[in-house]
Structure 1
Amino acid sequence: VRGSLEDKIHRLEADLAAAQHALAQKDIERSRDDEREGRLAHEEVQALRRQLTQREEDKRQCDQAWLAKYESMVRSQTDLDSRNRQIAQELQEARSRLEAAVDAQQSIEVTLHGTETDLQAARRECESLRALNGRQDEVIGALERRLRGYE
């Protein structure tokens, strides 16, 4: 009985040692699994950080591009506003020159009309003088004929 008890104790001790060994192996495997999962989790965290960093960089570049475009649009609008003011000033100057030209034309037309009137009056006076001159020629001719008659 004693031998069989000792055999049972040895078997129990062997079973205990095997169970402890199996438990230690499981602990080692669990530790390796935990380590592997930890590495994977760490790699995943690193990948997520890289993605986040890349997204932040992409956003920064996008913001810079948008800001550059906005500044360009503001400069373009400022240039357009300046050009519009310049064109408006040039138009005002052209309008003033046109008004002065119209005034000068009207003055010339008034002067021309006056000159035409004066010219017509001078023509009438010239015709009148010609008519008078023609009568004088007749009178002189008649006087010359009388003088010849007295000679």
Structure 2
Amino acid sequence: MLKKIISIVFCVSLAACANQNVTQSDSECGLEQLMLGVSCIEPDLDEIVKHPLGSPGNPVRADGPAGQREYLSRLVCTNGEPVSEFKRTSSAGMGPWGFILDSYVVLCDTHQGVIEHNVYLDLYHKGYRETEVAEGFGDIML
């Protein structure tokens, strides 16, 4: 059963790499690289910066799930208050860095009621700590 699951994941990862600008040969772009956090594509930095931070085209880079939570907990809503809550809602497909994205809903309590923001994060950036604020928020605590 485990071999079947690994085979399926390997095939999916190869298909994802085939749809991107491959920087390694197909035989080198597989499950092992994805598990090690090695992307199969060369990211188009000029294209990424055209999108707002926190969008699918420019996800917030983070160091694992803990890095995602750490980033989201540092966001400040436009009313100057810290976010009141955040929750991972789903995986959101392949991102521009070559990894599967996570989608989070982030809540801000305001005088106009609760405002929901969708923030996309990429958890495969070991050692990276984002210092810029995602679109829709007022600031970020450093």
TM tier relative to shorter chain: under 0.3
Identify the structure with the greater helix proportion: 1
TM-score normalised by length of structure 1: 0.15
Which structure is richer in relative contact order (CA contacts within 8 A, separation 6 or more)? 2
Pick the structure with greater CA Rg: 1
Larger strand share, 1 or 2: 2
User: How high is the TM-score relative to the length of structure 2?
Assistant: 0.16
